[in-house]
Structure formats: C-alpha cells, structure tokens
C-alpha cells in the first residue's frame, strides 16, 4: 500500500511509524487527532496485534477513540490514566522552537489537556508543516456558543494591539451549521498570516471571557518527527538539542491503511 502513496502521505506515514519507537510496553499513551495521528494509531494497533504490545491509549477526540478501539488498542479516560508517559500528535504548523499551531481538526482543547498531562509530547508532521514564523495557518480558538459574536468582536478588537499581520476572524462551519467540538463549543479561526509573539497572544486570548482555549502550543512539544516524501525521517529533540536523520524501511505491500479515511 505504501508504494502507492503520494509523497505527502508517505511523509506522514514514515513520521508516524518512526514515532512509535517512543512507545514501550506498559505505557499510557496520548493518541492525537488528525490524518497523521491516525496513521500512528494504526501503527500502534499493528504492534498490539502482532507484537503483543500492551498499552493504554487516551484519545484526544471521539473519532480517535473509535479508531483506536477498531485497531485493538485499549482505550481509557485521562481521569483513569491520571498521567501519561507520552503523547503523540500531529500539528498544523511548527517553528524552530517547536512551538505549534494545532486545532485544524477541531480537537485542540482535549489535545492540549492530554499533551500537558504527559511526560513527553512528540509531534509527527510532514516537512510542509515547518514554518519560520507561526501564523500562515489560521489559528483556532475554541469559544462557548453563548455570546460567541461578542467574543469574536472582543478578539478582533484585541488583535489591533497584537503583533500580527492579519486580523480577520471566521466562525468555523460544518456545512450550513457551526462546527461543534466534542465539548459542544464553536471554533473561531483567526487569519493572522504572521504571529510575532505567540506566547503573548496565547496568554491574552485565554484571559478573554468566552474563550475556552486557543490552538497555540507553547513550550509543550519535546520533539518533532519530520517525515519526507522520499521516506526520510528527521527527529529534532528540543531538550537534548539533537537532530537525527534516517531512512525508514517499510514493506511496499504494507496494507495498514487501505481503509483509512483522513
């Protein structure tokens, strides 16, 4: 199956596959949400079935929970797990300091809770997600439905004093209706183009009434596993200050993902 993948899908696959090296028998593992994270869940499921790997998975969304159960991973709640050994998740953008924008899939709140309750957070991404400065990808902000337009106006007013290039915001839709998160909230996407001070913006946004959480993940990620379309992987560890490169070998007939829908 991997021999038929596009270069970007192959990059996602090799990043996900390499990241499973962080998972050991008996661990409690945070399972991310999104297309790249779904490949990782499938890889872990294969390890459970074929290698006898024993882990407890804490999913960051209902769809990840369903996928994990489908591939044979034991799913538990974060309250039951209490603390996690590692969380592996994707990102919409990451910079040289391994700060992230997440929430393109709408699960940013659960993703941030799970990531911060882990000894390590490992991000898996194709090389196209790397940026010099965060902000090209719209920044998701989860808001409560009550008074969301007032919250939106407050955010737009506040952005005037922030170091950003764009200030437009849009309500995320699901067809004709507003998109709803697993917690029943809405998402405002902030089209900022460039974020000059991500740390400041994250703090300011979370002080606003009506804002539940924002998609800036600052000082949370410990390492990023970057996949390339030719099968190369690069592991950048922010704590150790190391960069490791390798070529990932995989079977051309691998059919892990024949029924995986992004």
- Residue 111 annotated as catalytic: yes
Q: Does the annotation place 20 within a ligand binding site?
A: no
- Give residue 248's pLDDT: 87
pLDDT band at 258 (very low <50, low <70, confident <90, very high): low
Q: What is the CATH number of domain 2-130+219-247?
A: 3.40.50.1360
Q: Which of 98, 101, 102 is nearest to 195 (CA)?
A: 101
Q: Does the annotation place 36 within a ligand binding site?
A: yes
Q: What are the residue boundaries of the structural domains of the chain, listed by start?
A: 2-130+219-247, 139-213
Cβ contact 190:152 at 8 Å:
no
Q: Does the annotation place 91 within a ligand binding site?
A: yes
pLDDT band at 253 (very low <50, low <70, confident <90, very high): very low
Q: Does the annotation place 219 within a ligand binding site?
A: no
What DSSP line would sit under 76-87, residue for residue?
--HHHH-SEEEE
Neighbours of 92 (CB within 10 A): 22
Cβ contact 31:59 at 8 Å:
yes
| Residue 8 main-chain phi, psi, to 5 deg | -70, -35
Three-state secondary structure call for residue 92: coil
Which residue in 4, 74, 111, 183 is the catalytic one?
A: 111
- Give residue 249's pLDDT: 76
Cα-Cα-Cα-Cα dihedral sign, residues 113, 118, 124, 129: positive
Q: Picking from 57-61, 104-108, 246-250, which range would have the lowest pLDDT averaged per residue? A: 246-250
- How far from chain centre, in Å, is Cα 45? 19
Options 3.40.250.10, 3.40.50.2300, 3.30.70.260, 3.40.50.720; CATH for 139-213 is 3.30.70.260
Q: Does the annotation place 72 within a ligand binding site?
A: no
Q: Does the annotation place 52 within a ligand binding site?
A: no
What's the average model confidence in pLDDT over 218-224? 98
- Give residue 209's pLDDT: 97
Q: Is the entire prediction scored with pTM above 0.85? A: yes
Q: Does the annotation place 105 within a ligand binding site?
A: yes
| pLDDT tens-place string over residues 68-127 | 999 999 999 999 999 999 999 999 999 999 999 999 999 999 999 999 999 999 999 999
Q: What is the mean pLDDT of the chain?
A: 94
pLDDT band at 5 (very low <50, low <70, confident <90, very high): confident
Q: Does the annotation place 45 within a ligand binding site?
A: no
- Give residue 255's pLDDT: 53
């Amino acid at each position: 199956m991997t021999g038929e993948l596009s270069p970007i899908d192959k990059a996602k696959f090799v990043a996900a596959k390499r990241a499973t090296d962080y998972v050991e028998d008996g661990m409690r593992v945070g399972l991310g949400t999104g297309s790249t994270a779904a490949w990782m869940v499938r890889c872990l499921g294969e390890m459970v079935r074929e290698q006898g790997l024993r882990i407890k998975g804490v999913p960051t969304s209902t769809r990840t929970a369903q996928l994990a159960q489908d591939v044979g991973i034991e799913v538990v709640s974060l309250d039951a797990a209490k603390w996690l050994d590692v969380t592996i998740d994707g990102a919409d953008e990451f910079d040289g300091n391994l700060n992230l924008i997440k929430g393109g899939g709408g699960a940013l709140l659960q993703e941030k809770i799970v990531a911060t309750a882990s000894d390590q957070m490992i991000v898996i991404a194709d090389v196209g997600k790397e940026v010099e400065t965060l902000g090209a990808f719209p920044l998701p902000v989860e808001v409560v439905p009550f008074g969301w337009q007032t919250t939106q106006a407050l955010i737009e007013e506040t952005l005037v004093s922030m170091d950003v290039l764009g200030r437009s915001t849009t309500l995320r839709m699901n067809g004709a209706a507003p998109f709803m998160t697993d917690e029943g909230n809405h998402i405002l996407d902030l089209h900022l183009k460039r974020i000059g001070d991500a740390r400041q913006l994250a703090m300011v946004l979370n002080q606003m009434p009506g804002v539940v959480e924002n998609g800036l993940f600052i000082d949370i990620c410990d390492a990023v596993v970057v996949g390339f379309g030719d099968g190369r992987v690069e592991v950048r560890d922010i704590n150790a200050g190391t960069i490791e490169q390798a070529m990932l070998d995989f079977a051309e007939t691998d059919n892990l993902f024949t029924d995986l829908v992004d």
